[in-house]
Amino acid sequence: MGRLLVGVLASGRGSNLQAIIERSLAGKIDVEVAVVVSDVEDAQALERARSAGIPAVHIPPGRFRTKLTPEAEQRYVEVLDEHGVEVVVLAGFMRILHDDFLTRYAGRVVNVHPALLPSFPGLHGQRQALEYGVKWTGATVHFVDAGVDTGPVILQAVVPVMDGDTEETLSARILEQEHRIYPEALQLIAEGRLRVDGRLVTSAGGTDGATKGDAGATGGDGS
Ligand code: GRF
C-alpha cells in the first residue's frame, strides 16, 4: 500500500502540521505531506514545511475577510492537484471553504478543533469552554462539511479543565491531544479503515473513536 498524500492548509503556527510531519518522517504513519499551502505569507507553518523539505506555497486569499475568493480557491485546487493530494488536512486554516472545493474533495477534507464538538464550535473553543465553566473539554478531528465544525467526528480526546486554568494553560493541554489524535486519524484514513454512514464514522477493527488522553479520561463509551 502506498503512502497517503496529504496537502496541509495552515494559516499560522503550524504545530499540528509539525506533529504530522514528525510522525510521517519517522515512518510512524503511512502519510506523506505533499505540500503545505497558506493564505498568510509569513505563516510559521510555511517555514516548518520548508525546513522539512516540503513544498510550501503562499496563495493570497483575495479580498474577503473570512473566506477565499473563488479565484483564490481555484488556485488552491490547482496546487493541491499538482502535488497529487488525496486528502486535504486543515491545520489552523482560518478561511472558510466553499461548496465547490468541498464537492471536489468530497469526504476527503479533515480538520482539528480544540473542543469536544458539537460543544464550542467556531473561534476560541478553549475560551468558550472556560467561560461556560465545563469541567471537561478536549479535541476533535472531524471530516469537513459545509457548516462550521459540523462534519462527522473521527476521533476525540478528553481533557480536564483545572481550577485556575487560563486560556493559555488549557490550550496547551488540549494541543498535546491534538498532536496525538490528528496523526492517528490520518493513519486510519491511510489504512482505509474508516466507514462513514451519515454522521457516523466507524473504523474496522480498531479504535472506538474515544481516545484516552494522559488524564485517563474516557469518552463515548458511557463511562
Ligand atoms: C489548533 O488549536 C487547532 O485546533 C485550531 O487551530 C489551532 C492551530 O494550531 N483549528 P497550530 O497552527 O496547528 O499550532
1-106 has which fold?
Rossmann fold (3.40.50)
For residue 112, give the ligand 1 atom closest to its CA.
4
112-223 has which fold?
Rossmann fold (3.40.50)
Residue 91 Cα to ligand 1 midpoint, Å, equals 6
Catalytic residue among 58, 83, 98, 113: 113
Task: Name the residue ranges covered by the structural domains of the chain.
Answer: 1-106, 112-223
d(CA 49, CA 1): 25
First to last CA, the chain: 37
Residue 199 has pLDDT above 50, yes or no: yes
The sign of the dihedral angle between the CA atoms of 15, 135, 132, 158 is positive
**Closest Cα to residue 166, out of 126, 135, 138, 132?**
126
**pLDDT tens string 32-76:** 999 999 999 999 999 999 999 999 999 999 999 899 999 999 999
**pLDDT tens string 1-34:** 689 999 999 999 999 999 999 999 999 999 999 9
Domains 1-106 and 112-223 share a fold: yes
The sign of the dihedral angle between the CA atoms of 136, 109, 145, 209 is negative
39 touches 60 (CB < 8 A): yes
Give this prediction's pTM: 0.92
Residue 200 Cα to ligand 1 midpoint, Å, equals 24
For residue 91, give the ligand 1 atom closest to its CA.
13
Give the Cβ contact number of residue 191 at 10 Å: 16
User: Among residues of the chain, what percentage have pLDDT more than 70?
Assistant: 91
d(CA 192, CA 86): 12
Residue 213 has pLDDT above 60, yes or no: no
Angstrom CA distances, 11 to 24, 42, 90, 95, stand at 21, 9, 9, 8
128 touches 171 (CB < 8 A): no
Q: Which three cell numbers stand for residue 118?
A: 458539537
Write down the residue that cell numbers 466507514 correspond to.
Answer: 195
Helix (H, G, I), strand (E, B) or coil at 52: coil
Output the pLDDT for position 142: 98
d(CA 76, CA 70): 10
**Closest Cα to residue 17, out of 69, 85, 88, 76?**
88
Output the pLDDT for position 175: 98
